């Protein structure tokens, strides 16, 4: 019996332990991110036409720095996210206008309200800068463009699931609000894109 207890104790002591984020830690995460626009458009209300922006799934990497175990800053970097833009809801429903390619780096400040636990939930708020790398649409022979630079506030909520050896699994949801003027030679619409951004991935503490 005594030998069995000693064997169990040694096994527990040798088992890998969870490592929780501390002041000064940097966490790097690689995630798969789904961007789902929640757009609002008034392209031509007289016939019911509006602009619709489709969803896309992209790879993403982010970096977090912990000022304390409760407070962190997160910078989200991603490749460009290409979205098809169509006319929907009216007499011209189904017309395809092309696509735009948006680069959406986002910086948030996070509050980790239950640190030092296996599940480390957080909420955050910050700002997103959206760079339209490809902003030209076309309708017949008429050139249509969106703005090159856009900004908008962002809110987030998520959780890290801590694993041994400083690894973790992450789930994160953001809501970003931003809009753009859609123009030919003159403005034809103000398009609120306002996407939901849902991410899942793995990370490592350093």
- Identify the pLDDT of residue 87: 82
Region 57-81: mean pLDDT is: 94
Give CA–CA dist 204/170, Å, rounded: 10
Q: Does position 42 have pLDDT exceeding 80, yes or no? A: no
- Identify the pLDDT of residue 15: 45
Task: Calculate the average pLDDT of the chain.
Answer: 85
User: How do residues 121-177 score in pLDDT, each as one tens digit?
Assistant: 999 999 999 998 877 776 554 678 888 899 999 999 999 999 999 999 999 999 999
Give CA–CA dist 36/195, Å, rounded: 5
- Identify the pLDDT of residue 46: 59
138 or 66: which leads in pLDDT: 66
Confidence of residue 13 (pLDDT cuts 50, 70, 90): very low
Percent of the chain predicted with pLDDT > 70 = 85
- Identify the pLDDT of residue 95: 76
Region 26-49: mean pLDDT is: 86
Region 35-40: mean pLDDT is: 92
Confidence of residue 197 (pLDDT cuts 50, 70, 90): very high
């Amino acid at each position: 019996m005594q030998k069995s207890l000693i064997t169990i104790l040694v096994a527990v002591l040798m088992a890998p332990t969870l490592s929780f984020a501390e002041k000064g830690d940097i966490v790097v995460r690689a995630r798969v991110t789904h961007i789902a626009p929640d757009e609002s458009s008034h392209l031509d209300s007289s016939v019911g036409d509006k602009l619709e922006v489709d969803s896309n799934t992209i790879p993403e990497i982010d970096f977090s720095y912990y000022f304390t175990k409760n407070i962190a800053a997160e910078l989200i970097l991603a490749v460009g996210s290409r979205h098809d833009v169509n006319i929907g809801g009216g007499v011209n429903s189904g017309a395809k206008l092309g696509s735009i390619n948006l680069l959406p780096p986002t910086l948030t400040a996070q509050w980790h309200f239950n640190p030092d636990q296996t599940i480390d939930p957080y909420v955050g708020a910050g700002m997103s800068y959206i760079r339209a790398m490809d902003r030209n649409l076309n309708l017949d022979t008429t050139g249509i463009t969106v703005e090159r630079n856009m900004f908008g506030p962002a809110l987030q909520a998520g959780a890290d699931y801590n694993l041994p050896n400083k690894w973790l699994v992450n789930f994160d949801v953001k809501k970003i609000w931003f809009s753009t003027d859609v123009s030919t030679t003159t403005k034809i619409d103000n398009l609120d894109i306002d996407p939901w951004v849902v991410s899942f991935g793995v990370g490592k503490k350093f």
